[in-house]
């Protein structure tokens, strides 16, 4: 196969030298008179076209090719053109420019990475106490950001399979000597942390890792043991999560 491709490449160069205004078509490889190359049969149907630093695909999937000043541009596109951007990094994106990017310093960014952060809009009164379980769901949250639109009223829905991490700060009061239980409830199980308060109020941070399948959900639940149901959820309560891998 490698020898065959090498022969095709030699024929392409030879044709351009002898017949600069002609077109060479050989086994799905087309070298056009303008120097551009089309790969695919027939031309412009499910092919990849390379012309200078511009790469396009007609009903194609993945393109990976050098362009610009040492950069690499890749994408999953349909009847669209992906142009080299320059620099020394790597980009893997769709025809809207959305996707992971590695700059020439090695930093990775991805504006499409699923992730969210939200805070309780205002104090929620008398949510727990006397072992009453309270799920932190409903219209009590204000979203700070939500990449992928994965959070709805405090419930996160996983867009893809993967390892996720959830963290935040929980503010509850009055506590006194009562015990606070924080729990992350997911479709695959729950993760629990306890805090023996011993103070009038508490602001407790937490982090829970979890594997979620696509469409699995996750939300927070709290319970304060003993006493009456007079414990309030404070407005300094935050909930955040993101896909790790």
Domain boundaries, the chain: 2-110, 115-243
Residues of the chain with confidence (pLDDT) below 50: 1, 5, 14, 16-19, 21-22, 43-46, 53, 58-86
pLDDT, position 113: 86
Kindly list the distances between the CA atom of residue 170 and the CA atoms of 93, 120, 137, 182, 206, in Å, as whole numbers in the listed order: 37, 10, 14, 8, 8
- Give the separation between CA 217 and CA 222, rounded to whole angstroms: 17
Task: Name the class of domain 115-243.
Answer: mainly beta
Q: Residue 112 has what pLDDT? A: 77
For the stretch 125-173, pLDDT in tens is 989 888 899 999 999 999 999 998 999 999 999 999 999 999 999 998 8
Side by side, the strands of the sheet bearing 48-51 are 24-26, 29-31, 37-39, 48-51, 54-57, 80-83
pLDDT at 49: 58
pLDDT of residue 78: 38
């Amino acid at each position: 196969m490698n020898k065959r491709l090498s022969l095709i490449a030699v024929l392409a160069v030879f044709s351009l030298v002898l017949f600069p205004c002609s077109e060479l078509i050989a086994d799905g490889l087309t070298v056009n008179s303008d120097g551009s190359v089309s790969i695919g049969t027939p031309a412009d149907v499910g092919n990849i076209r390379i012309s200078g630093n511009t790469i396009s695909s007609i009903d194609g999937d993945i393109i990976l090719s050098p362009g610009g000043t040492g950069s690499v541009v890749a994408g999953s596109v349909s009847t669209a053109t992906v142009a080299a951007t320059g620099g020394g990094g790597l980009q893997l994106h769709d025809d809207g420019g959305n996707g992971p990017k590695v700059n020439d310093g090695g930093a990775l960014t991805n504006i499409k990475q699923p992730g969210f952060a939200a805070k309780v809009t205002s104090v929620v009164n008398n949510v727990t106490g006397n072992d009453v379980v309270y799920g932190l769901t409903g219209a009590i949250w204000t979203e700070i950001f939500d990449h992928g639109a994965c959070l709805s009223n405090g419930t996160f829905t996983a867009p893809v399979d993967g390892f996720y991490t959830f963290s935040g700060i929980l503010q509850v009061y009055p506590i006194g000597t009562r015990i606070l239980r924080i729990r992350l409830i997911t479709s695959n199980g729950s993760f629990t942390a306890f805090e023996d308060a011993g103070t009038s109020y508490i602001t407790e941070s937490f982090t829970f890792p979890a594997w979620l399948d696509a469409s699995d959900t996750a939300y927070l639940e709290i319970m304060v043991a003993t006493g009456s149901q007079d414990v309030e959820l404070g407005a300094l309560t935050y909930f955040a999560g993101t896909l790790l891998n």
